[in-house]
């Protein structure tokens, strides 16, 4: 097995893993950002309700 084959194998293995990891990371970060926005909205709602009272 020469170095060219080795690099080809490494690239073929790493690229899908890297892309999958990136997709999972983006999915998780967008999910957590959504939850964070929901939390912020509920907090601001609570504050506005307190101000009304």
Question: Of the candidates 41, 33, 37, 34, which has an alpha carbon nearest to the alpha carbon of residue 49?
Answer: 41
| Cα-based distances in Å from 35 to 4, 29, 40, 45 | 46, 10, 9, 15
Please tell me the predicted confidence (pLDDT) of residue 5. 92
Q: How confident is the model at residue 9 (pLDDT cuts 50, 70, 90)?
A: very high
Q: How confident is the model at residue 52 (pLDDT cuts 50, 70, 90)?
A: low
The per-residue pLDDT for range 17-49, each reduced to its tens digit, is 999 999 999 888 887 777 677 777 777 777 777
DSSP, res 35: H
Q: Kindly report the pTM of this predicted structure.
A: 0.49
Please give the Cα distance from 14 to 17 (Å, whole number): 5
């Amino acid at each position: 097995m020469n170095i060219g084959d080795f690099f080809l194998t490494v690239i073929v293995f790493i690229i899908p893993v890297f892309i999958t990891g990136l997709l999972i990371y983006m999915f998780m970060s967008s999910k957590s950002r959504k939850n964070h926005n929901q939390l912020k909205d509920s907090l601001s709602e609570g504050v506005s309700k307190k101000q009304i009272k």
